[in-house]
Amino acid sequence: MRILLDTNVLISAFVFGGAAGRLLEKLFDGDFDLLISDYVDKEFCAKIKEKWPDKFDQVYSLFKELPFVFCDSSNVSEGSLRDPKDIPVLSDALFHQVDVILSGDKDFLEADLEYPLVLSPAMMLEFLER
């Protein structure tokens, strides 16, 4: 299963731990390709620097050491979403033909996309625990 992670899930997992952190541990132990697009990587880096500058070096170096699949972002904007900042993430998901966008973003979760599937960390944990 190919899963594209959104910035908010990465921030939750790396800064706060909790359900998103537990989920990443389970995903790393499973047969999943965890994709991080160039757009998400840059956004994650900028958010950590902005909001938690004292944690940046530690968090970002750990992030880069984990077995994520880092991939290029699409040059084409695809789809229509309420929040225009989410369109690059959707475009990257479509470009890389992922099965799931893992996001806690309410706009994504309520977008009712036919493809790819959008799951929150809690929804994905529930799916894995079945």
Instruction: Tell me what pLDDT residue 128 has.
Output: 87
Name, in order, each residue with C-beta under 8 angstroms of 16's C-beta and a sequence gap of 6 or more. none
Instruction: Tell me what pLDDT residue 40 has.
Output: 97
Instruction: Tell me what pLDDT residue 106 has.
Output: 86
Instruction: Tell me what pLDDT residue 64 has.
Output: 94
Instruction: Tell me what pLDDT residue 109 has.
Output: 85
Residue 8 Cα to chain centre, angstroms: 7
Name, in order, each residue with C-beta under 8 angstroms of 36's C-beta and a sequence gap of 6 or more. 4, 5, 10, 44, 68, 69, 70, 71
The tokens describing 64, both together, are: 């880069």
Helix (H, G, I), strand (E, B) or coil at 101: strand
pTM given for the model: 0.92
Instruction: Tell me what pLDDT residue 110 has.
Output: 85
| CA gap 17, 2 in Å, rounded | 22
Instruction: Tell me what pLDDT residue 77 has.
Output: 79
Residues in the chain with pLDDT values less than 70: 82
